[in-house]
Structure 1
């Protein structure tokens, strides 16, 4: 009974905290009713647009804090002794329940007759505690989308989808007993964010959605981020495909041939009389085991660079000519990364299957490995070359700072 009272009090307190309408109060403090100006929303975006960016930042921080505090309180209570009274699943449900209560409080605050904001800042506060890595990725997507498009609504929707996608991708067992409460919270949170942005979606469709104003530093940042993205993309691909991977495979061939040696702790790897073919197969397997764990990180970096390069390049699409070719080349190279990622994983599976205890499986894998490995190498080569072309094209980046003629989103709005 005592635990039940703590749980009820915690959920109710989380809702009441999340329902605190900081945006409305800050607006009233400045003599403005945010419900009647701008987009009519009491969130940080409208507060910044109407009152100025310092007040918008203040509202964002306050709304974010009221989302982060409830799950942090649950963690503190659990560590202080609640873990002795509840099961891990119940603890997960309680933490997610506190976050969801704060989130719903912001969306439907009792203090304002259940008329609240859209939940982006408060939701961000909850996920920064519950899923920090996914939240960091979503925050990056939000920032880059705002920088490129100046549509906060589009950035918020993309960030919500990114958050769920990254979290499900990183979780080894996303629907295990300890994970499903958080997954359901993120899923329903994304749905609610889209529901609360339905008017924004309609205005986007009609070309009437509000945007942030342009500023000179934005164009500088676009060029900086684009250069960093294509530079890391080409540099990482070139280093891995032409320097690191070949060196690793050559090194393991030498290790197998010279074993036992100091590099094998003077342990024999194969019998001295083993045929050369067997030694090559062992060297390939060992090199594959060393390179295999790098592939997820390598392709994640490549995909991140490709997405950043493509997003920034879209800002210059309306410049025509080389600016459109830049987008096309980046798009083709990004498609190569998307195809190459699962292909490399399949090749890694075939590499291991060649040594299966089942002769038929080993023979089939041996036959298929050479073909698919060749496809993988060829695709990596093409992608690296295209990334190099993207880097070369960066020499012709536009230097417009006061006009928006390069911005594809401006032309979309005017159509």
Structure 2
């Protein structure tokens, strides 16, 4: 395959063979990138929804909302066909992104190190597969809204933000029964989590992915403009209501609260204190098996200097956990708060639901304030050891107060999450229509 493509692209058949030892010509990187991206577009342009509906004798352009996506298929043909189309559309987004780099390297081993770097190739395949679904050449460029295909692409490209987006979609869809609103919230969650979780989202290595996600979300919003108008007017279609939706909503609410309370409680009251105590022991008693029998503190170090070293090492160990810790809390808070809002709106605004929303809103506010505060405390932690004595002294003085405030806010957050979890014993009972 490799030889065939190289020969086909690089030189005509009537040229004489290359002399022995002469370097064999390879496909220009730009040509290879173009061919692979065109292939990704053609895969994304396969209109599975339209084909499945046609096989059942239905023209999706004239049925339901007129869209060829999985939601309209489910509305027109039934849930099982909607699930089938969603899976196929998902795969035509995931497949090109997963295959583009191995395929490029199979054709040219240096493909991923030239102009077509691995990240660039994956983003190009994701973008073209997504555009293929939005504007399929096979249907006169009349396509779907790109949610399923985009989801498949980003699940391979950025799996952690994609998982958060899936959680957002499921939570909003179950709480409100609006698929369009769930899709818009999932798109927003994708970008927010990527920006929060990526160490340098606008740096050279990540900028291509960041740009793709932002542009992709903007396109999804534009494609949903009619849905947005119907949502604002209160005329948007909702998915069916049934016992399963109610159970899933309760499950998401309890799971989110359990992860939030358990994770925050374990980190604040078990893991972090144990880490700091362990480093104090290591700094005081080393060298030992905990330091590979290497001395980490000078033999002339005073007890105060050893405590400072232990604090610095423990901070270095715990510091990288904070972004993921607060991101986990934010995701759990969002899931719990959205489901609680859904019950508050649907169950006549009963007092227990209003109280539940108030507790969760206060806990979410604590997380929103605690995240930047934690970053500031981490900065002060480093400045305590600044070479300039005045800077170090000022940082030490400020650190004590701000660190205490950060710890207090964390304890309040854990307490509120625990209260919300306890309130889950009074989730709404399903009321069957009379």
TM-score (norm 1): 0.89
Post-superposition offset of 1:260? 4.3
Contact 1:151/1:212 (<8 A) preserved: yes
Distance 1:132 1:44 in 2: 22
The verdict on how the C-alpha distance between 1:77 and 1:178 changes in structure 2, with shifts beyond 3 A counting, is farther
Which aligned pairs between 1:160-199 and structure 2 lie closer than 5 A? 160-199=187-226
For the residues of structure 2 that align with 1:172 and 1:31, how far apart are their CA atoms? 51
Greater mean alpha carbon deviation, residues 339-348 or residues 76-85: 76-85
User: Conserved in 2, the CA contact under 8 Å of 1:259 and 1:269?
Assistant: yes
Unaligned runs of at least 5 residues, structure 1: 405-415
DSSP 3-state at the match of 2:201: coil
Deviates most, 316-325 or 62-71: 62-71
Aligned 8 A contact 1:231 1:391 in 2 = yes
Q: Trace 1:74-93 onto structure 2 (pairs within 5 A).
A: 74-84=100-110, 87-91=113-117, 92-93=119-120
**Count of residue pairs the alignment pairs up:** 404
3-state secondary structure, aligned to 2:272 = helix
Residues 354-400 of structure 1 deviation map (CA, whole Å, 9 limit, x = unaligned): 11111122111111111101111111121121112112211211111
Deviation readout 1:102-128 (Å, 9 max, x if unpaired): 222221222222211111111122222
Aligned to 1:368: 398
Q: 1:23 matched to which residue of 2?
A: 49
1:56 corresponds to 2:82: yes
Does 2:225 align with 1:232? no
Distance in 2, matches of 1:164 and 1:213, equals: 29
Compared with structure 1, are the counterparts of its residues 16 and 249 closer, same or farther at alpha carbon in structure 2 (3 Å cutoff)? Answer: closer
1:341 lines up with 2:371 in the alignment: yes
Residue equivalent to 1:66: 92
Q: Residues 33 and 116 of structure 2 are in contact (CA less than 8 Å); yes or no, is this contact kept in structure 1? A: no
Q: Which residue of 2 aligns with 1:37?
A: 63
Deviation at residue 325 of structure 1 after TM alignment: 0.6
* Change in 2 beyond 3 A, CA 1:114/1:377: same
Cα separation, 1, equivalents of 2:344 and 2:58:
39
Within-5 A mapping of 1:116-127: 116-127=143-154
CA distance in 1, matches of 2:172, 2:337: 11
Alignment of 1:320-339 (within 5 A): 320-339=350-369
Q: Measure how far apart 1:203 and its partner are.
A: 0.2
Find 1:153's aligned residue among 171, 180, 185.
Answer: 180
The 1:8–1:267 alpha-carbon spacing in structure 2 relative to 1, beyond 3 Å, is closer
Cα distance change on mapping 1:263 and 1:388 into 2, 3 Å? same
- SS of the equivalent of 2:378 reads helix
The CA RMSD measured in Å over matched residues stands at 2.4
1:46 aligns with 2:72: yes
Does the CA-based 8 Å contact 1:216-1:401 persist in structure 2? no
Partner of 1:412: none
1:52-106, CA deviations, whole angstroms, 9 ceiling, x for partnerless residues? 1110011112222222333334212222142425644434444433332222222
Give 1:48 deviation, angstroms: 0.6
Classify 1:270/1:60 alpha carbon distance in 2 versus 1 (closer, same or farther; 3 Å). closer
Structure-2 separation of matches of 1:263 and 1:70 = 47
Distance 1:341 1:393 in 2: 25
User: Structure 2 length as normaliser, TM-score?
Assistant: 0.85
Q: Secondary structure at the match of 1:315?
A: helix
- Find the aligned partners of 2:123 and 2:306 in 1 and give their Cα distance: 53
Residue 90 of structure 1 aligns to a residue whose secondary structure is coil
State the distance in 2 between where 1:67 and 1:273 align. Answer: 62
For structure 1, which segment, 223-232 or 281-290, has the greater mean C-alpha deviation from structure 2 after superposition?
281-290
Match of 2:126 in 1: 99
The structure 1 residue matched to 2:333, chosen from 301, 306, 316, is: 306
Q: Shift of residue 335 of structure 1?
A: 1.0
> Cα–Cα, structure 1 residues 387 and 73, in superposed 2: closer, same or farther, change >3 Å?
closer
Cα deviation 1:238-280 (Å, max 9, x = unaligned): 2222233333333333333434444444545546665443343
In 1, distance between residues paired with 2:240 and 2:132? 31
Q: d(CA) in 2 for partners of 1:262 and 1:6?
A: 54
Q: How many Å apart are 1:41 and its aligned residue?
A: 0.9
Give the gaps of 5 or more residues in structure 2.
1-8, 11-26
Distance 1:183 1:238 in 2: 33
- Contact in 1 for aligned 2:68/2:144 (Cα 8 Å): yes
- 1:206 and 2:236 aligned: no
* Deviation digits for residues 307-335 of structure 1 (CA, Å, limit 9, x no counterpart): 22112211211332011110110011011
